[in-house]
């Protein structure tokens, strides 16, 4: 079975022979081609997360992929990477946060959840496997300190974002829109419109982004979906 990617790692294995010594060398050249577009926008009254719906494996394998997942009632993530790893890590972080909340008798903060998930990403990338565990997340959430947006890299790195962030092959197009139109202090309503425009730019130009858009908002009221739209193009004669 061909693994489905939201990032598409291209692995090239080259064999080189040293004739004089009769030694066989194997060289691994891995290039990561990101095949998705996700966006996170920090607003004055909440966080907006958005993503497209396409999953690829050299071709389009799913037109209705769910790339935004609820972690708790106040936190959610967008995912990019190897689908199986991303789905497993989402299940694990949900369970770990619940266990941590029970052990500490309090709700986990967004920062604590970001660090916990980043540790999972760190170990996931470095485990021995025939298939690279390449996954990254954008984490948005609300806690007693306010609302927060985190960028969690494939290597386990953590960056708190105070304006906007985009991930995936279409991010170069999305970031152009965000750079031009984002204004500090925008409302969630304005953030939703900006997220749709930025994902829309990637839909128009990036071949690995497409088939629709999902947008959610995270604020003091919790996690809620504000837009689910499929994009289907059919030619009729």
36 part of the active site: yes
| 31's tokens | 């290039």
| Greater model confidence, 151 or 127 | 151
| CA dist., res. 73 & res. 169, Å (int) | 30
Highest averaged pLDDT of the listed ranges 4-13, 140-149, 227-236: 140-149
Q: Which of 36, 56, 65, 78 is catalytic?
A: 36
pLDDT score at 105: 97
Q: Would you kindly state where each structural domain of the chain is located, as residue ranges? A: 7-230
pLDDT score at 170: 93
Above 80 in pLDDT, residue 95? yes
pLDDT score at 4: 52
Above 70 in pLDDT, residue 192? yes
Q: DSSP for 75-100? A: EEEEEEEBHHHHHHHHHHHHHHHHHH
| CA dist., res. 68 & res. 78, Å (int) | 4
pLDDT band at 30 (very low <50, low <70, confident <90, very high): very low
* Nearest alpha carbon to residue 53 among 63, 43, 39: 63
Pick the CATH number of 7-230 from 3.60.20.10, 3.30.390.50, 3.90.1150.10, 3.40.190.10: 3.60.20.10
Averaged pLDDT, 151-177: 96
Locus of tokens 């970031």? 175
pTM reported for the whole predicted model? 0.86
- Report the DSSP beta bridge partners of residue 139: 77, 150
| Greater model confidence, 163 or 21 | 163
Above 60 in pLDDT, residue 85? yes
């Amino acid at each position: 079975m061909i693994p489905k990617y939201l990032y598409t790692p291209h692995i090239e294995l080259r064999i080189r022979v040293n004739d004089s010594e009769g030694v066989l060398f194997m060289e691994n050249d891995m290039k990561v081609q990101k095949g998705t577009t996700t966006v996170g926008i920090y607003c004055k009254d909440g966080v907006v997360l958005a993503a497209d719906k396409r999953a690829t494996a050299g071709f389009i394998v799913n037109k209705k992929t769910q790339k935004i997942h609820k972690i708790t009632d106040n936190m959610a993530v967008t995912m990019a990477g190897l689908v199986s790893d991303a789905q497993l890590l989402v299940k694990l972080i949900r369970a770990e946060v619940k266990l941590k909340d029970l052990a500490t008798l309090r709700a986990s903060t967004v920062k604590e959840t970001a660090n916990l998930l980043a540790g999972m990403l760190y170990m996931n990338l470095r485990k021995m496997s025939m298939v690279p565990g390449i996954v990254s997340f954008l984490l948005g959430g609300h806690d007693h300190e306010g609302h927060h947006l985190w960028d969690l890299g494939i290597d386990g790195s953590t960056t708190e974002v105070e304006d906007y962030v985009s991930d995936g092959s279409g991010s170069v197009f999305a970031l152009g829109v965000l750079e031009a139109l984002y204004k500090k202090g925008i409302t969630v309503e304005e953030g939703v419109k900006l997220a749709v425009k930025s994902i829309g730019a990637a839909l128009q130009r990036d071949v690995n982004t497409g088939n629709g858009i999902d947008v959610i908002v995270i604020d003091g009221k919790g996690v809620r979906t504000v837009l689910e739209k499929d994009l289907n193009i059919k030619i009729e004669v």
